[in-house]
Amino acid sequence: ALLKAIEEPGLRTVWLMCAPSTTDVLPTIRSRTRSLILKTPSIGAVARLLEKEDITPTMASFASRASQGHIGRARHLATNESARAHRESILKLALNIHDIAGAFKAAQDLVESAKTEAEKDSTERNEREIAALKDAWGTQTTKISSSNTKALKELEKDQKFRTTRMVRDYLDRALLDMSTVYRDILFLQSGAQEELINQDLTSALNPIATRTTPDSTLTKIEAITSARTNLAHNAAPLLTVEAMMLQLK
């Protein structure tokens, strides 16, 4: 069905399929499509875009570095103080794991924070969807008939699944932010002249870079990468993050 749709699209239809590389796409699909290589925008390009939206140069620079080329994320950080505060709290978690108890506490805090964010963002959306469904049935003020109860339950089931997925998405974003701490530490250890992502934490990162080795920093980056992979494969969030935090400790 997919091959037929690609071969004979509607008059005003364009199919855009995304994959890490062309080798990840089945040959039968690859032969029917044209490959476009998309590049991540540079930090400077994202910053200039934000400045055009009346965001100060200082804030635009911070948001573009923190988002690592993700324009939507950069815009969100630049315009949302609570998002910046949340990101800062995540980075401090990575810098303040000193013992096993602290590692478990950090894991619990991170997972609970992701759950809170997901539930907050999904609640309003869920209510709108249920209200729209009832409105379509004309049952906003009357009792729902038994024939529509099944559809409502299916919608609620889908919403619950989406919220669970959102928890993993928020955790993944948090782990990506956390990895930038160790990326910066590794750059300091290697003497690289690249600009740090977390320039505001330089005074906290320098002592860590001095007393630890590049090998240990790489091990921590690999622990975060492994945790992100496991979460993508539906591993239990708390157990996954606890295992990662112990390695970071």
User: Could you tell me if 91 and 65 are in contact, meaning their C-beta atoms sit under 8 angstroms apart?
Assistant: no
Q: Which pLDDT value is given to residue 39? A: 84
pLDDT band of 202, cuts 50, 70, 90: confident
Question: Does 56 score more than 80 pLDDT?
Answer: yes
Q: Which pLDDT value is given to residue 249? A: 87
Q: Which pLDDT value is given to residue 94? A: 81
Identity of residue 115: K
Q: Which pLDDT value is given to residue 116? A: 86
Question: Does 126 score more than 90 pLDDT?
Answer: no
Q: Which pLDDT value is given to residue 7? A: 85
- Say how far apart CA 48 and CA 61 lie, in whole Å: 9
Closest CA to 169 of 237, 247, 242: 237
Closest CA to 77 of 247, 197, 228, 220: 197
Q: Which pLDDT value is given to residue 225? A: 94
Closest CA to 239 of 44, 118, 103: 103
Question: Does 37 score more than 90 pLDDT?
Answer: no
For the chain, the average pLDDT equals 87
pTM comes to: 0.75
pLDDT band of 222, cuts 50, 70, 90: very high
Identity of residue 64: S
Q: Say which range, 116-120, 204-208, 230-234, has the weakest mean pLDDT.
A: 116-120
